[in-house]
Amino acid sequence: MTREKSERVPVGRASLASIDIGSHTARLLVAQSIGPPELLVPLFRKRVYIRLAEDFHTEGGGKLQPEAMRRTLKSLEDFASLTKGYGVEFTHAVSTGVVREASNKDEFLGRIQEHTGIEVEIISGEEEAWLTEKGVLHALNMASGPFMIFDLGGGSTEFIYGKRESRKVKSVPLGAMVLAQKYLTSDPPQRERVEALGKEVDDLLKVSFSKYPHFRKDDLLVGTGGTVTALASMIYAIDREEISPERMNGLVLERGQIEDLFTRIKTMTTDERLKLPGLDRGRADVIPAGCMAVIRILRFLESARMVVCLSDLLEGILIAYLQGEKDE
């Protein structure tokens, strides 16, 4: 996460950008610093469904596929143009999810830098969790804890548990897109495949948390990531144009609401799901897998509800940068 001091820009109305290249989406946040990190003001955000993990675990054999890389490169060229238009003085791009595992990641990241000038840093699941925590705590102004934050992505889920001054992080290979590609191969999904998906989530959680501090069901649970945002949009009937931190951060989802939604969508075709409010085309085919994963996480933690946070890794990247500036 470090950058040379000569690359830093002065704090005080500086335009900054963060980029996350994930397994399912590429995301951009442009924000302005008008003081300390607490005064980070978002100016523009964009999400593109790149499906970088497409065929990675099946035909791909652990390699990013040409078409998936082409989609991603195109989106990053667009991001580079947007940051230029906003007069961005500092950009930090990270790759998460499937890129960590790809045997051809160096070639891919080299092409990105060559075509866009964007240098991408591969971060570990633990660092992703730490940065996500920064974004969530900043957005929700959370008390000292205890709390659990989970960030459900396309290829992995990061968990952060504890208090501000003492917390543990865990990255679990549990992602909505990867699960959908593995189990939901028909439209609508077959019941036995949905059940198998749920069992895999349960097994992953049990193995991953065998030595993890016990989460008490009354502790605050916060969910973030595209799946969580989509579930909140569907349950609260929020149009895509209305999705913003101001609208989404702090919404409460009851486990029963999510289970009721899953009962509706699990037998629908993708086209039928697209008629539901709050769901866009890029997520319609993977939302059953993501919804099932969220339900199993809540059941595993014995939690009846969760708080939604749209602010996450992207904000955390910039806050970490600004705090580094402040500390030097």
pLDDT of residue 326: 44
Q: What is the pLDDT of residues 230-254, one digit of tens each?
A: 999 999 999 988 999 999 999 999 9
Cβ 118 vs Cβ 95: under 8 Å:
no
Compute the mean pLDDT over every residue in the chain, rounded to the nearest whole number. 90
Please spell the DSSP secondary structure of 31-58, one letter per residue: EEESSSGGGEEEEEEEEEE--TTTTTTT
Residues 219 and 103 in one domain: no
Q: What is the pLDDT of residues 130-161, one digit of tens each?
A: 999 999 998 998 766 789 999 999 999 999 98
Residues 136 and 270 in one domain: yes
Residues 166 and 266 in one domain: yes
CATH number at residue 118: 3.30.420.40
pLDDT at 328 over 60: no
Residues 143 and 247 in one domain: yes
Backbone angles phi, psi at 25, to 5 degrees: -130, 160
* Residue 121 to residues 96, 105, 225, Cα–Cα distance (Å): 9, 11, 20
Q: Is the peptide bond prior to 173 cis by the omega test (within 30 degrees of 0)?
A: no
Kind plus residue range of the DSSP H or E element containing 291: helix 287-300
Residues 301 and 274 in one domain: yes
Task: Give residue 288's domain range.
Answer: 126-313
Of 69, 88, 123, the position where a domain reaches its end is: 123
pLDDT at 94 over 50: yes
| pTM for this model (two decimals) | 0.90
Q: Please report which confidence band the pLDDT of residue 288 belongs to, taking 50, 70 and 90 as the band edges.
A: very high
Residues 60 and 100 in one domain: yes
Percent of the chain with pLDDT over 70: 91
